[in-house]
Amino acid sequence: MNGPTSIAITGIGLATPLGIGKDGVWSALAKGRIGLTNLTLFKSPRCGVFPVGQVRDDLAALGAPRKASRGDQLAFLAAREALSCAFPDGLGNRGNRAGIALGSTVGGMLASEDCAERLVRTGSFRPGPLRRHEPAASTDLCAGTLGLAGPSATISTACSSGAMAIAMASDLIRGGEADIMLAGGADSLCRLTLNGFASLLLVDKAGCKPFDAHRAGMCLGEGAAFLVLESASSARSRGARIFAFIRGWAATCDAFQPAAPDPEGRGAARAMRNALAAAGLDAGEIDYVNAHGTGTRDNDLAEARAMLAVFQAAVPPFSSTKGFFGHALAASGAIEAAICALALNDGRAPPNPGFKTIDPSIGLAPLTEPMSGPLNHVMTNSFGFGGNNVSLILSRTQSRAAGHARARSTEKFCPVSVRAISFMSPAGNTFLEISRFGQARPLEPRLLDVRPPFPPCRVPAYACDDSGVEADLDPVRHRRLSRMLKMLLACGSRAMRDAGPPAGARDPERTAVAIGTGLGCLEDAGAFVMNLFENGERTPMPARFIQSVHNAPAGRLAIDFHAGGPNGTFTHRDISFELALWQAASALGAGSADFAMAGAGDLHDPFLLAAGRAWKWWPEDSPAIQPFSARLPAGNRPLPGEGAAVAALTRAEGSEAALAQVTAVRMGQQSLPFDSDAEARWILDALESAGRPDMILCGADGFPLHDNAFLDVARALGRQMGGPVPIAAYKHLCGAFYSASAFGFAAAVGLCSGALDPAILAWPPGGGPGHFACRRVLLLTRSHAGARALCCVETPSS
């Protein structure tokens, strides 16, 4: 194995309440300018009195796309600056090996709220803004406009999302998946978060005062930040300016409560210790800590206790910069990482605005003035809902021995074993149940009623039977959870039960959770937002707010199974599941976890169904999904489906108890213009020595353009491998939805383990299962928005 790759930061871009552009923001920080002001972005009867970190610049006038959401615009401006900073003359031919990892919490929620407000106040449903609702819209905008054709990922781990994106991007470069990564986060202010945090009594009318004895809550903010990451050798070979190096990182989960930290800060302390170990540093070598420091009573106390546990009596100088910007949620970790890189360059650490009085329960005082002097190593912490903790360590110089003392794996992929898998689908919840269907007996859609205040209609769709879900849940602890949470928790419970040893003897602190979801917990987010307008913000719904975040399922799984290892949520349209699987496998391969749960889920929602009918996608007489049939009427889209799945994973050694092995996972952007031969070469490069697949299992859904692309790739792959490769599809069993590939993965595991007959799959005309053994299945996923992913599933003895 080659030595670990040092990751250099060669570009920085910032869009914050202190200005657009890194130089202006750093200058404003040096002058002590505070970016907290009155809210003017939207009207809020209850929360308009709170100071916020609002970006005042005209984003469109600065070049941001006018038809994009506000979050998209902020992301674009920061991403454009970072890339221009690193590559003043443009990427050139480097774009094919350049990717993007973006953290986002609310996506286009602000515009979606406008849609909901119009519906409540006038009865008019105009779903146009919902097209930009998803967090992945920001990622796709930046990738498409800036020429990034490498891996794309959207991460949504609440307030740690931006930091997690930087960590993931670093590992993609170390693993050889990309040469250059644009990594950061973006979020805009919106009514959901402002009213949500206020309903939890976590917002302070008097401003943000992190670590102060009289602190009473946070101030919400917005913004975006991006770093350009590349290997140190690449940066030096082209003479690039290097701002700093990503020395190491670690992620943990409190597994304590959905919206409150472990009061002793144990999960945060483990993240800091593990980051130090990954960086090959002692605690005494950290010169400055950029604290998460939200200004809430519990969070600041827990973080202080964590720092004391790690640094003992020698806590380094520290500060929270949220008093300058407000808490920009997913963007905060990225903004703070950018500030740390600039601090290392300038030899000056920023102060902690708002601090006046030491809290006796904390016993620590942050910096109250800028600290000048040499900085060699700095730590930045990001903690979020669901107990997600990420600690990054940045250094001024390249790390010793060109890498970490405890290096993360530099292999492209570390094979993992699937010990168990559980799913809920419209066709059934076990392999035996779904075996009743197939091309000879297709699964028929149901008509779902959409009721007021939406325009009443009936939408044909594939729906799960979740009537037995309560049997796997605690009737007291889980009674108020939404359907999405219940289904994923039930799948997790079944997978953990079926996995058996070593699952029963696992170390909770070394158990990772990774979940994919294209749209998140829409039931909770929609209920919370509609209630705001129906009741004039008088009676907010705090329980709904807590469950509205995309990472609520991953957080609840961690709580239920005491999983304190890395915890991630990915929301990148159709490849959300593959990203979750990649992260779980990476945690196992890097040695930061010994056991992992990887899964995904998306469910029907009135907003989704009503929007699809308004766009005339799903007339009441729409046909069932028939992959490869070319029978979908013009203007129609494949019928919507839903489902959830969770797999229990371990490292591949000792795989005798495994159902299957995963030997490759890769993400990227489709070739433009579409080139089936280029797609086939990408597949072959990912498979490397895995060998010829027995079949391709793809996401064909009856949409001709989509289906034909899969068929063209299969033919091109056959040409390059010296013989045809059979291809089949699975969406006639589950419908079309963002995380459907999790069901496809379950089907691949069933095929390789002998639990599923290939005859139930959909085959192209003239194709069929024949009489071959499915020992190696290639799962292919494509998104209409341009993302692609593959996963190779094999029998353990392959």
Does 453 sit behind a cis peptide bond, omega within 30 degrees of 0 on the bond before it?
yes
Closest CA to 36 of 15, 47, 51, 18: 51
State the chain's mean pLDDT as an integer. 93
How many CB atoms sit inside 10 A of residue 308's CB?
17
Tokens of 567: 């915890």
How many CB atoms sit inside 10 A of residue 776's CB?
23
Let me know if 327 is a catalytic residue: yes
Asked if 42 contacts 222 with a C-beta cutoff of 8 angstroms, the reply is no
The residues facing 601 across adjacent strands are 644
Considering the candidates 47, 85, 142, 159, report the single residue annotated as catalytic: 159
Which residues, in sequence order, are CB contacts of 61 under 8 Å at separation 6+?
none
The helix/strand/coil state of 596 is: strand
What is the SS3 string spanning 24-71? HHHHHHHCCCCCCECCCCCCCCCCCCCCEECCCCCCCCCCCCCCCCHH
pLDDT of residue 137: 96
Closest CA to 748 of 714, 777, 781, 791: 777
pLDDT tens profile 537-554: 999 999 999 999 999 999
Considering the candidates 142, 208, 327, 404, report the single residue annotated as catalytic: 327
Residue 407: which pLDDT band, with cuts at 50, 70 and 90? very low
Q: How distant, in Å, are the alpha carbons of 238, 539, 610 from that of 729?
A: 45, 47, 27
* CA angle centred on 27, ends 23 and 32, rounded to 5°: 150
Checking if the pLDDT of 50 tops 70, the result is yes
Asked if 524 contacts 548 with a C-beta cutoff of 8 angstroms, the reply is yes
pLDDT of residue 66: 94
Roughly how many angstroms between the first and final C-alpha of the chain, as a whole number? 23
Tokens of 256: 């304590």
CA-based radius of gyration for the chain? 25
Q: Mean pLDDT throughout 236-247?
A: 95
pLDDT of residue 713: 97
Which residues, in sequence order, are CB contacts of 499 under 8 Å at separation 6+?
419, 420, 648
Let me know if 159 is a catalytic residue: yes
- Looking up tokens 């709580």 gives 559
pLDDT tens profile 110-157: 999 999 999 999 999 999 999 999 999 999 999 999 999 999 999 999
pLDDT of residue 769: 77
Give phi and psi for 252, each to the nearest 5.
Answer: -140, 175
pLDDT of residue 773: 77
Report the Cα 550 to chain-centroid distance in Å: 8
pLDDT tens profile 180-220: 999 999 999 999 999 999 999 999 999 999 999 999 999 99
Rounded distance between C-alpha atoms, residue 536 and residue 526, angstroms = 15
136-146 and 70-86 are packed helices; what angle lies between their axes, rounded to 10 degrees? Answer: 40
Considering the candidates 292, 404, 550, 732, report the single residue annotated as catalytic: 292
Rounded distance between C-alpha atoms, residue 772 and residue 751, angstroms = 11
Report the Cα 167 to chain-centroid distance in Å: 12
Checking if the pLDDT of 402 tops 50, the result is no
pLDDT tens profile 335-384: 999 999 999 999 999 999 999 999 999 999 999 999 999 999 999 999 99
Checking if the pLDDT of 648 tops 90, the result is yes
- Looking up tokens 């005859």 gives 759
Q: Where do runs of H (alpha helix) occur along 437-500?
A: 483-499
Tokens of 341: 């890189």
pLDDT tens profile 712-769: 999 999 999 999 999 999 999 999 999 999 999 999 999 999 999 999 999 998 887 7
Let me know if 784 is a catalytic residue: no
